[in-house]
Structure 1
Amino acid sequence: MIWHQTLQRNLLRNTQLPALALGLLLAAPDAPAGRPLTVDDAGIADRGNCQLESWVDTSGGQSAAWAMPACNFTGNWELALGAASLPADSGHRNAAVLQGKTVLRPVTDNGWGVGLVLARQAGEQAATSINLPVSLAWQGQDTLLHANLGAIRPQGAHTAATWGLALERQLGELTGIGLERFGQRGGGATTQLGLRRAIVPGRLQLDASWGRKSDQPRAKTWSLGLVWTGAPLQ
């Protein structure tokens, strides 16, 4: 999620506001990656399935609330319309993200896959981004390596290259762990450790992440989220 890197940097610049409330969730299928990873994977929801990831993200002691619903209506594209409530001097401000994602080559057991993600962030920090996620699988798909390469162009600014690398491992049927590092040219890199746990298998997931940025080692980051899954379009 390249757009998330820009919003995360903006969050670090603010110096006010406590944690914001998290919204309710609705729908989504299982996928190789997703929360709590920021680095994207080369997979999308199955046709007729939806997902809604929702989480609180804190960096440098300041927090934001996120909601990212996505559905696959056609079989070829997963469309997402996300929203965030970010801290600001006068209380908080909202941001919206429209994202389209497709798979150019599906990930296979012990194989690899490639995706394409296009996103537009609206609001005070408007930006357009493109990302090419590549996923490699071992032990079926219990171990996955995700690599991202892309670019982001904030409104009124120059285009910057973006990158990400994540290693993900399934620990039994209910638990998964991931380690990632991501950033963009001209900015510091973020390293994060993530953990997820299925509360209701195939329906409800609880996840969390902890990390820090290389250019702000004292500003620790963490997140806590939920994912509700289902197939409302079938």
Structure 2
Amino acid sequence: MLTLSGAPLLARFLLATSLLACGFANAGRPLTVDDANTDDAGSGHVEGWYARQPGRANTWTVAPAYAPIDGLELGALATRDRTAASTSQSLQAKWRITPSRENGCNSAAVLGVSQTRGQSGTTPFLNGLLTCSSTWGATHMNLGAQRAPGGPGVGSWGLAHEREWGQVTMHAEAFGQRLAKPTFQMGVRTNLARQLQVDATLGRINRETLFSVGLKQSF
């Protein structure tokens, strides 16, 4: 298992982004833990953000998503690590298995694949999602796995809770993968306009501070 302190820049980037590839790839900003909901049929969104990742990696990400039919959302993600001069991409499909509920739980599943440019092979990932909503907010639970080229399958997990406070929605979350230390993170989002969201996160992993700022445009 690679350690962040001794790995070269590219290895640090691959380790940092492996958490995102474990089914967290296209979680709705600013969450990393995914929710079990999809956009309405015929609608979608584009998210973009800057993040400081483990190993002091400076990354820029663009992630569009679109729901062609009710309960199915197709998404893509492209991340450029300016520190290691490396680019990764992923494609995924999210299927909402049960209808969303204002008071109660619903489930979904994500299937996707990611690849880092210049590296041979692809990394498939699968993630099960559960969202439970109430007057106290929404709790999201993820459980999944990924398999890097030539390597064994690695389990992943995530737990998050978010709640609205007036015009602002805040969340706290923890996520990680087997044999690695978890990431703890908090985030906030609000709308600048009806379909334009601004958001930010602040987190910690392995004594490092992580942060991100982003925008989300719905259509």
Alignment TM-score > 0.5, same fold: yes
C-alpha deviations, 1:35-75, integer Å up to 9, x for none?
11100001001100011111111024321110110001122
SS for the counterpart of 1:105 is coil
The residue aligned with 1:72 is: 67
Q: Which consecutive unaligned segments of at least 5 residues does structure 2 have?
A: 11-26
1:13 CA drift (Å): 4.8
Please state how far the C-alpha of 1:208 moved relative to its aligned partner. Answer: 0.4
Residue 220 of structure 1 aligns with an amino acid whose one-letter code is T
The structure-2 alpha-carbon separation of the partners of 1:13 and 1:197, relative to structure 1 and needing over 3 Å to count, comes to farther
- Among candidates 124, 131, 136, match of residue 128 of structure 1: 124
Distance 2:129 2:7 in 1: 28
Aligned partner of residue 143 in structure 2, secondary structure: strand
Q: Which has the higher contact order (CA 8 A, sep 6+)?
A: 1
Asked if the contact 2:103–2:134 (Cα under 8 Å) also holds between the matched residues in 1, the reply is yes
Aligned length: 196
Q: Structure 1, unaligned stretches of length 5 or more?
A: 1-8, 17-32
Equivalent position to 1:81, from 76, 81, 96: 76
Task: Extract structure 1 runs of 4+ deviating beyond 4 A.
Answer: 12-16
| Aligned-residue RMSD, C-alpha | 2.0
Q: Percent identity, aligned pairs only? A: 31
Residue 44 and residue 13 in structure 1: after superposition, are their counterparts in 2 closer, same or farther (change >3 A)? farther
Q: 2:161 is matched with which residue? A: 167
TM-score relative to the length of structure 2: 0.84
TM-score normalised by L of structure 1: 0.78
Hey, what's the Cα distance between the residues in 1 that align with 2:33 and 2:130? Answer: 10
Q: How many Å separate the matches in 2 of 1:206 and 1:45?
A: 18
Question: Deviation of residue 205 (structure 1)?
Answer: 0.6
**Kept after mapping to 2: 8 A contact 1:107/1:136:** no
